[in-house]
Amino acid sequence: MTWQRIVPAFSIVACMVATLFAAYSVSGATSTTLSAPESFASITDEGVRSAAIFNELGKVLTSPRCLNCHPAGDRPRQGDNQRLHQPPVFRGTDGLGLTAMRCPICHQKANYDPGRVPGHDPWMLAPREMAWEGKTLAEICVQIKDPERNGGKSLADLVHHIGDDSLVAWAWSPGYGRTPAPGSQQEAKVLAQAWVDFGAGCPAE
């Protein structure tokens, strides 16, 4: 048997194993809400208000739906308990996995709920410089504003990414057994815009 046949066969088996693991990822947690920017109107200092708004947005940024794809290392996390991805997969040079185990092998264009496998086109890890796992919200705030660590995005680009990107949108429709990110994508976009409008302030450590 040639390697060309072995690798696809192994990948198929790995997907089946991943399905078995995913079947036990059901969480009893429920989605929480997001407060609107108007909720912070009593804070007269705009810098402080901006930081408070980012704290609220942080409920999304630090949810498992975001953190699982912004890992500190080269392996994604999965499930509400953020366990290491099974089967063992690694980032690869483009965030889409190694040659023998590419993300699209298992993760198709949409969620496959019978197999508990999430999906989107593309399905990939955030770049290594955008890792959030293990960081405080204050650290994430500083990082997310840094073009060298946010994919070269401006503040306006960040608002667009949070509020309009279809992969980010998946966080609110993650499929069976996964708790959606708090609120809605539109609510997160409104918070992100308000955060920028009031100065893009960061919470204190």
pLDDT (tens digit, 9 = 90+) per residue, 4-57?
444 444 444 444 444 444 433 333 344 489 999 999 999 999 999 999 999 999
Cα separation, 57 vs 192, whole angstroms = 7
- Report residue 184 as tokens: 């809605």
Cα separation, 45 vs 63, whole angstroms = 28
pLDDT over 80 at 96, yes or no: yes
pLDDT at residue 4 in the model: 43
Residue type, 39: S
pLDDT, mean of residues 129-134:
93
Whether the CB-CB separation of 174 and 65 falls below 8 Å is answered with: yes
Cα separation, 75 vs 69, whole angstroms = 9
pLDDT at residue 126 in the model: 93
pLDDT, mean of residues 115-133:
94
Cα separation, 74 vs 95, whole angstroms = 9
CB-based burial label for 13 (10 Å; 0-12, 13-18, 19+):
exposed
pLDDT digits (tens, 9 = 90+) for 73-94: 999 999 999 999 999 999 999 9
Q: What whole-number percentage of the chain has pLDDT above 70?
A: 85
pLDDT, mean of residues 161-173:
97
Strands 97-98, 101-102: pairing kind? antiparallel
How many of the other CB atoms lie within 10 Å of CB of 205? 8
Long-range CB pairs of 138-147 (<8 Å, 24+ gap) are 138/202, 138/203, 138/204, 138/205, 139/205, 140/58, 140/61, 140/62, 141/51, 141/54, 141/58, 141/202, 141/203, 142/202, 144/61, 145/200, 145/202
* Chain-centroid distance, C-alpha 116: 17
Average pLDDT, the chain: 87
